[in-house]
Homo-oligomer: A and B are copies of this chain.
Amino acid sequence: MLDTATEAERSDQLRLLADSATAFASGRLSLARARKLRGEKPEFDPAMLAELAGQGWTGLLLPEELGGFGLGFAEAAVVIDSVAGQLAPEPLVPVAVLAAGVLRRCAAGERRDALLGGIADGSVIPGLAWQNATGGLDPADPAFTATVQGEGWSVSGQARFVRPGSGATHFLLAARSDKGIELLVVEAGSDGLKLVSEAQADGTSLARISVEGLRVAADAHLSLSAADFAAAIDEAVLMNAVELLALLRRMRTMTQDYLKTRVQFGKPIGSFQALQHRAVDLLIQEELTAACLNQAIAAFDAGSCSVDERSSYASRAKARAAEAAMWTAREAMQMHGGIGVTDEYELSLYVNRTLALAPWLGNASAHRRRYVRLNPPKAGSDA
């Protein structure tokens, strides 16, 4: 579909999708709802995730034959932007981008297709467990080890930073084996699966998943190449950057509005030049982020990049979005003054969500490093 639609057709479709996403988000995803779900177990509403699925949003990126819509990242970004902007804690990126992206790259088969169908209809909510306890970001070195044992597999290890943790219906344990990357599908609550929640700034949590010699049947085993695994993670990194852009845009806009209305010394504080210039710097960061993300999304959708080029785009996008969002959060609080650091005022919800989402899958600093590792400085790069 991406190949055949003209640019103009696609941009019309994107506009329609944006309208419906905005309408849904403002009608069904209130900030009050987000506030109430903080600290709950699970910290999201599975029924709402099913509603999102009903909109077709969990299957957006999946091929039509698997119950999805076969759309691109530009479409996914439009939806993710609306959902993230309303601070919905439902794990759209972890499920519909990360887990779905990994699964759809595994060899076709009954188990895989059922999981993907479940993601598309909202009945399956898988959490991918792959990072080790210190947050390693190398997809070729996932947290678990797996060995063939009899008809099935034996898995051991501990993963951290798993989203969703509580509320997940399945966990996909990414493991090293002699042959490469294995994916072991384990139902939540299975015997031998230990889950510990770690609370995040925004009232959501990440899970630590540990297993020790857990037996997994052969039919719950999927496998994919390290490059495919990495590709799926890069897609989640990019869509995570889209979430951060949604957050920073709203924090910046709230601040812009506040500067116009808050009066001190007989004037709106937005008339003070020092604040004006700082507000402009935030605007510039937002526009840089948007431009960078759009370029990356277009490159992903064009599909002509090498693995390293995709990783470079993803890292650039995440580095910019995370840095800009953290910067915007700080300045938004400062320019709001006291009210900016209260729980009651909505800004703090955005700040705390930013604090949780910016480090996920690697913070700005980690992604800048990955970018230059992939693209080291060399002489003669111009002329």
Q: Interface of A with B (CB < 8 Å)?
A: 272-277
Contact = CB atoms under 8 A, between A and B. Distances in A.
Report, nearest first, the 7 A-B pairs whose CB atoms are least far apart: A273-B273, A273-B274, A274-B277, A274-B274, A272-B273, A274-B276, A273-B275
Contacts of A276: 274
A277 B274 CA distance: 7
A140 to B, nearest CB: 31
Contacts of A275: 273
A276 to B, nearest CB: 7
A188 to B, nearest CB: 38
Main secondary structure of the interface of A (DSSP, over half): helix
Contacts of A277: 274
Contacts of A274: 273-274, 276-277
- How many protomers of this protein does the assembly include? 2
A335 to B, nearest CB: 13
A278 to B, nearest CB: 9
A273 to B, nearest CB: 4
A137 to B, nearest CB: 24
A168 to B, nearest CB: 36
Contacts of A273: 272-275
A279 B156 CA distance: 59
A275 B276 CA distance: 12
Nearest to A277: B274
Q: Count chain B CB atoms within 10 A of each CB in A272, A276, A277 and give the residue with the most.
A: A277
Q: Count chain B CB atoms within 10 A of each CB in A274, A275, A276 and give the residue with the most.
A: A274
A331 to B, nearest CB: 14
Nearest to A272: B273
A351 to B, nearest CB: 24
A342 to B, nearest CB: 26
A264 to B, nearest CB: 13
Nearest to A278: B274
A339 to B, nearest CB: 22
A275 B274 CA distance: 8
A274 B275 CA distance: 8
A275 B272 CA distance: 11
A357 B277 CA distance: 33
7 contacts: A272-B273, A273-B273, A273-B274, A273-B275, A274-B274, A274-B276, A274-B277
Nearest to A280: B274
A259 to B, nearest CB: 13
A42 B378 CA distance: 39
Nearest to A276: B274
Nearest to A275: B273
Contacts of A272: 273
A232 to B, nearest CB: 37
A277 B275 CA distance: 10
A266 to B, nearest CB: 15
A138 to B, nearest CB: 26
